Amino acid sequence: MIGLATFQFLTPSWLLLLPPLWLLLWRLARARLRQSMWSQICDTHLLQKMQTDNAASNGLRWLIWPLAIILTLAVLAAAGPSWRQQTHPLMESASARIIALDLSPAMRVQDVKPSRFAQALAAAREMIQSDFDGETGLLVFSGAAFVVSPLSRDASTLSAFVDALEPGILPLDGARVDLAIARAQDLLLASISGKGQIIVITSGIDRYSDALQAAVSARQLGHRVLIMAIGTVAGGPLIDEDGTPAKDGRGNFVLAKTDFSALQDIAAAGNGFMVSLDQATDYSELLGSKIRANNLVEASHESANENREAANDGIWLVWMILPITLLLFRKNLLWIILLAVMLPLDENAYAADQDTIWQHREQRAFEAYRQGDFGHSAELSRNALLQGSAHYRNGDYRQAIENFSLDDSAAAHYNRGNSLARLKRMSEAIAAYGEALARAPELTAARYNKRLLELFLAQRQESDGDQSADADNNEGDDVLPEQTAGDSRPGVIGQEFNNPADEQRQQPGLGASQQFGMLDPFERLDGLEQQLERLALGEGIDPAQAEILMDTWIKNLPAVSSDLFRRKFSRDYQRQRQQQR
């Protein structure tokens, strides 16, 4: 944004120097004028005797105006004139994508080898483990859509979730691509930019018109819908869970065909494209589309005001000062130019290429940051925000906190809060987010992160209190019976998981969900899932803190298996039906 409406001085106190400077120059000019008045009342040969420093006086005459211009421009440059805004790097990329995986029974069809689902699983796993510099979310769908993981950067966790999925574990059959796209849009609201990719891996589609409308809606919101189609036009027989081909009432095999034309229409309506998984070149192109997605997200992110600040354009006034300064040395100007050309360059300067030779230190630091050379960026920069962001991306969160502490802006406090959260210093992170909100109440990301950590601490304190109370109740028991069946209960939220068989014994007459204040694994998971979904889908969360709840959820998993997800999705579906009533 450039214009007079945005013009300002970043450090206007420097302008206070202008009046005394102009007064000093005016007095010098007046002194020269008084000397020239002697020529009207004194003979020339006598005046020459009186003015012994006539040459210096003549030199001062022409120096005053260039000196006035130079000093004025220097003061204006020091005041930091700004007529545009620029973005500064935050520690998290704005890119986001949602992988929607079809788990309908049609994915068991073996018209492609080894099966549709095996290829879809390999594609999803490869995308998750790729070098995508952003957040990735995962959902599954058939006759309904369910969230497996909100936006996260933990590729290993997402891969573990993908490996535990299989067709037929969802409560409804079908291929509701429209519901998958709509649910993906909800998840993308939690991203930094609110926009991203929706990658649908499917072999078919139900309700074509609804899916088309959902893709159009996604495009209007700035998303891009990409379809990874799997299967063949001829199709293949459906396979039941027991591995036998499915038949209709007449005893004929039920064929599942892939409608590539319909899937292509959906992708086009969503500002994307469709590829078939058996086309290796197109598959590589789809993985490479993250570059275009990054450009799409960054273009919209540039227009946001949350991470923009006024740029100091005083450097342009310095360039104006240089040619005027050369006039002060006009007698020796030629020698100065020759000296500058003939002086040997520093050997490091020979290594500078055409792209960086004209860049100042901060520009080179920012370029190094963009290229992923965070260590070099931190060494070059003197900007606390850029240094802190570089150290953060390098994993040095303690140094990042020190750098962000040197700046008092809302962005610095927000970034410091994220760094503290990475070090599990939750209370300090909450305070940092509070400082950010005090300076920029419109910084919604800080508000969401602060609320999330407060909920997390409250849940942990409640769980710690339950554990302490139950421990007190167990004091005085001299004899404890042996552990009964079922030794895979979760540990306390926020603490390292310990096998209950090693440390705890059940009391007779009490169920598993009543022992030591412990809930049934799925009851505790259900509460955590509700917290994750309420925050991620309702209000949005920062990926750095979303992983905190995600880690808690994972630590409470007795085992990541298809049976776990089958029960989870069944509970989610029942909850959805109750909300719709």
Lowest mean pLDDT among 19-33, 248-262, 319-333, 365-379: 319-333
Q: Do strands 197-202 and 96-102 pair parallel, antiparallel, or not at all (unpaired)?
A: parallel
Look at residue 490 in the predicted model and tell me its pLDDT.
Answer: 25
Quick one: average pLDDT of 64-85?
A: 82
pLDDT at 327: 62
DSSP codes of every residue in 12-37 = GGGGGGHHHHHHHHHHHHHHHHHHHH
Mean pLDDT calculated for residue range 282-297: 48
Model confidence band, residue 149 (pLDDT cutoffs 50, 70, 90)? confident
User: What is residue 339's three-state secondary structure?
Assistant: helix
pTM equals 0.46
Question: pLDDT band for position 294 (50/70/90)?
Answer: very low
Phi then psi for residue 276, to 5 deg, are: -100, 140
Residue 38 DSSP code: G
Domain-by-domain residue ranges, the chain? Answer: 4-83+312-322, 96-302, 453-470+489-499+511-580
Domain at 96-302, CATH homologous superfamily = von Willebrand factor, type A domain (3.40.50.410)
Q: What does the mean pLDDT of the chain come to?
A: 70
Torsion angle of the four alpha carbons 319, 320, 321, 325, in this order, in degrees rounded to the nearest 10: 100
Mean pLDDT value across residues 190-207: 86
Give yes or no for a contact between 368 and 380, defined as CB atoms under 8 angstroms apart: yes
Q: Environment class of residue 226 by beta-carbon count within 10 Å: exposed (0-12), middle (13-18) or buried (19+)?
A: buried
Proportion of the chain above pLDDT 90, given as a percent: 12
Rounded to an integer, what distance in angstroms lies between the CA atom of residue 191 and that of residue 179? 20
Exposed e or buried b for every residue in 414-436, given b needs 16+ CB within 10 A?
A: bbbbbbbbbeebbeebbbbbebb
Using 50, 70 and 90 to split pLDDT, how confident is the model at 269?
Answer: very high
CB atoms within 10 A of CB 445: 23
Taking alpha carbons only, the member of 372, 373, 403 closest to residue 388 is: 403
Q: What pLDDT was estimated at residue 263?
A: 93
The whole-angstrom separation of Cα 366 and Cα 311 is 14
What is the per-residue pLDDT for 218?
94
Tokens 């649908």: give the residue: 200
Query: End-to-end distance of the chain based on CA atoms, in angstroms?
Result: 49
Alpha-carbon gap, residue 460 to 492, rounded angstroms? 8
- Mean pLDDT, rounded, for 498-506: 32
CB atoms within 10 A of CB 157: 19
Top-confidence range, 283-287, 370-374, 530-534: 370-374
How is residue 194 written in tokens?
A: 């609110």
Q: Give residue 261's pLDDT.
A: 92
350-359 exposure pattern, b = at least 16 Cβ within 10 A, e = fewer = eeeeeeeeee
What CA–CA distances, in Å, run from 362 to 309, 311, 379? 15, 12, 10
Structure tokens at 62: 């022409």
Position 47 confidence tier, pLDDT thresholds 50, 70, 90 = low
Q: Which distant-in-sequence residues (6+ apart) come within 8 Å of 467 by Cβ? A: 492, 516, 517
Q: Which of 131-145, 469-483, 535-549: highest mean pLDDT?
A: 131-145
Q: Is the pLDDT confidence value at 441 over 90?
A: no
Yes or no: say if 415 and 383 are a contact pair by the CB < 8 Å rule. Answer: no
**E-state strands within 35-182:** 81-82, 85-87, 96-102, 135-141, 145-152
- Residue 32 is predicted with a pLDDT of 58
Burial of residue 120 (CB within 10 Å: 0-12, 13-18, 19+) is buried
The two three-digit tokens of residue 448, written as one number: 């969401």
Q: How confident is the model at residue 148 (pLDDT cuts 50, 70, 90)?
A: confident
* Helix boundaries (H) for 79-154: 116-128
Check whether 303 has a pLDDT greater than 50.
no
